[in-house]
Structure 1
Amino acid sequence: MKIAVFPVLATSLLVYISCVFAHEVDTYAFRMPNVWPHKDELYLCTPIRISPTTNYYMVGFVPKASMNTAHHMLIYGCSDPGSNGTVWDCGEMQSSEIDYIYPPASPCGSGSQVVYAWARDAPSLQLPKGVGFHVGRDSPIKYLVLQVHYMARFPRNVTDKSGVLLKYTSKRMPRQAGVILLGTGGYIFPNHVEHMETACTILEDKVIHPFAFRTHTHSLGKVVSGYVVRRSDHGDEWKLLGKKDPQLPQMFYPVVDKTPVRKGDVLAARCTMNNTHDYPVKIGPTNNDEMCNFYLMYYVENDTPLNRKYCFTNGPPYYYWENAPEGFNVIPDGEASTL
């Protein structure tokens, strides 16, 4: 194994990964470079650049973080990173205040897609045999960007190197992995149980094989459920992909139904939220806000993953399954909100 570090721009160091042994699974420690989270609710990003001369396949992820330190971690695949810096502030809502320590930018400059997500002390993830996330030479993923959400300010002179050990190989995997993220905007009225819902029709002529799902909310989430809806002249058939209490470790769990998803099928998700506060709670990046996310991990056989990486709606009070453009003729209302 050989890892070389090259200065790419005066303000950044991007890492080239190269592997000598073509058929071995190796490990790369993708971690924050001893950052100092100097304020509450800080999102920090750091990049690695994949060698442009070789194809690699990521086959496993080993988190190295604690929920006492990190609210969540994401790994993005990017065509270009959001910054040329070593570390930057990549929060969803940038402050107008100038941060001289970590300048603001998005995780990706172009070609953004989620590769891996972690929260609440979730364990390691090993992909099925023959499945890998394709990165490098012939992949649109030229960079990986690690995002860590720190909830609280660290004391001065205390730094962090949370991250993920990447398991990868240069051996070609016949099944390429992909992730589609379903989520919503919107807000939850005070003292109210709300359903935050999303749905998107698969329009690409591809066959995807679901194998894992992950749920994510903040403190108000009670149940998150995901479905594939198959349309026919006889009505809609809702097949459960998976559902979980999002207060449990937010790992990738095996899907309930592994039936291939095809063009014309609909992916749908619901988050059941219970707002016990006397004020509305909106979707947003901080721990005082909420999020409604359902991640579906899948593979394709000798093909490339879906071009569509995200499926978001405006959420309540603007969007519900009952008024969705798909015109569902049946909705699993009770099942989708109970464990």
Structure 2
Amino acid sequence: MPNVKPQHKDTYLCFTTQLNNSLYITGFEPHAKMQTAHHMLLYGCKTPGRQDKVWNCGEMAATANSAYSSGPTCASGAKIIFGWAMDAPSLVLPKDVAFKVGGDSDIDYLVLQIHYKDVSKFLPPSTETDNSGLTLTTTATPLPKTAGIYLLGSSGTLPKKSVEYMETACAFDEDVTIHPISFRTHTHTLGRVVSGFRIRDGKWTEIGRKSPQQPQTFYNVTTPNISVKKGDILAARCTYENTKDHPVNVGPTADDEMCNFYIMYYVDGDKTAERKYCFNSGPPYYSWDEFNGGDMNLEAIPETASTDPTGGKKWIRTGDNTDEQWGERSMDERDTEDLLSYIRYLASLTPNRESQDLYDNY
């Protein structure tokens, strides 16, 4: 960020760089601290949300900071390339693997989005500014394997005083085979475990599993040499412990929650998967029981799906759909206030056909 001064907690700022020639990104070095930045996301865009060098982006954009214009992260062609949070370290891609940007790719701009957590050091009378960002390692030499990101996530509400799951699943209906190489988890403070799986012919194979309270970088997949092909199912679960005395919704601020499981993969050649996202509405509306895209064989869900691989603690769902746990709002009110709010937020960050279809369906 070029000496920005965010003035409100949960401000989202975006910074863009235009690409001309083809480049191949092979590494990411973050320059940020978790005390200030809740997260950084690097997007590839066909068209940025604005032509300004810096602008407000995300759901808070309209009111967060009048010093900057407002707009989405990307106006078209949004693709997530990299994510950072919780003081995660640098990342170097495997040999012969790179993200292709610029040139004849469908990425003409890079956009860095930063969600600011604490802006107190930027408030008057302080003159301090922020230069958080990323250093990219690139080459102009084409590499034989092209990297991509597939993001699974969920909306929903966590009942008060409960352990709850947010689950999502999508059939993989692509004509390319992807090879997951690393994964990244993301929740806010209530997340305990995030896990992702490939289901093939009813057999569950773990792609990755991690506590989201650890540095939120990309970790090596837990099943080496795993692949995903047409006919497979991709699924993810976020496990939460809501210790609060009120329900907590998925949303864009640090006081809300999120459920994200990122898969970084490569393909042989330069044709990546067309679909980039798999999102569902979450509790109390959606769980794996509602999946209708094939046979998930739910009896075979791994017992470790909600087990923290670091400490070994297993979290078992205690939430239910009673009004006492969900609070006083009716189901229709929760639908209107929570689900649509998050879908609007998702669409503002990644304006594409899939997020618009999701919004239209509700």
Match of 1:144 among 110, 113, 136: 110
Q: What's the CA shift for 1:333?
A: 5.7
1:328 aligns with 2:302: no
Assess if the C-alpha contact under 8 Å between 2:11 and 2:65 holds in 1.
no
Instruction: Report the equivalent of 2:132.
Output: 162
SS in 2 for 1:165: strand
- Structure-2 separation of matches of 1:73 and 1:107: 12
1:314 maps to which of 276, 281, 296: 281
| Structure 1 gaps, min length 5 | 1-31
Distance (whole Å) between structure 1 residues aligned to residue 104 and residue 53 of structure 2: 25
Question: 2:262 aligns to what?
Answer: 295
The number of aligned residues is 301
Matching of residue 263 in structure 1 with residue 230 in structure 2: yes
The worse-fitting range, judged by mean Cα deviation, of 319-328 and 307-316 is 319-328
Match of 2:188 in 1: 218
Q: CA deviation at 1:36?
A: 0.1
User: Equivalences for 1:28-177 in 2 at 5 Å?
Assistant: 32-51=1-20, 54-95=21-62, 97=63, 99-153=65-119, 154-156=122-124, 157-177=127-147
* Distance in 2 of aligned mates of 1:118 and 1:176: 21
Residue type of the alignment partner of 1:47: T
Residues of 2 paired with 1:180 and 1:240: CA distance? 15
Give the Cα–Cα distance (whole angstroms) in 1 for the partners of residues 93 and 64 of structure 2.
41
Q: Please report the TM-score for the alignment, with normalisation by the length of structure 1.
A: 0.86
How much identity, in percent, do the aligned residues show?
51
Runs of 4+ in 1 over 4 A off after TM superposition: none
Name the TM-score, length of structure 2 as normaliser: 0.81
- Residue identity opposite 1:209 in structure 2: H
* 2:306 match: 337
Pick closer, same or farther for the CA change 1:301–1:197 going to 2, 3 Å. same
1:131-150 residue CA offsets vs partner (Å, 9 max, x unmatched): 00001111001100001111
- State which drifts further: 300-309 or 325-334: 325-334
**Whole-angstrom distance in 1 between the partners of 2:59 and 2:194:** 22
Relative to structure 2, which stretch is displaced further, 147-156 or 297-306? 147-156
Amino acid at match of 1:147: Q
1:273-315 CA-to-partner distances (Å, cap 9, x unmatched) read: 1111011100001110000000000000013111111110001
Q: Which has the higher helix share?
A: 2
Give, in angstroms, the shift of residue 92 of structure 1: 3.0
CA displacement, residues 109-137 of structure 1 (integer Å, 9 cap, x when unaligned): 00001000000010000000000000111
Distance (whole Å) between structure 2 residues aligned to residue 261 and residue 324 of structure 1: 18
**Structure 2: how far apart are the matches of 1:167 and 1:92?**
31
After superposition, the CA RMSD in angstroms is 1.2
Q: Matched residues in 1 for 2:157 and 2:136: separation? A: 36
| Structure 2 residue matching 1:335: 3-state secondary structure | coil
C-alpha spacing 1:170/1:275, structure 2 compared with 1 (3 Å): same
Q: Could you say if the C-alpha distance between residues 192 and 333 of structure 1 is closer, same or farther in structure 2, counting changes exceeding 3 Å? A: farther
User: Aligned equivalents of 2:180 and 2:58: distance in 1?
Assistant: 30
**Deviations for 1:152-197, whole angstroms, at most 9, x for unmatched residues?**
2222222100000010000001100000111011110111111001
Distance in 1 between residues matched to 2:292 and 2:60, nearest whole Å: 29
Deviation at 1:251, TM superposition (A): 0.8
Q: Give structure 2 stretches of 5+ with no counterpart.
A: 309-362
Q: Letter of the 2:18 partner, please give it.
A: R
- Match of 1:248, SS? coil
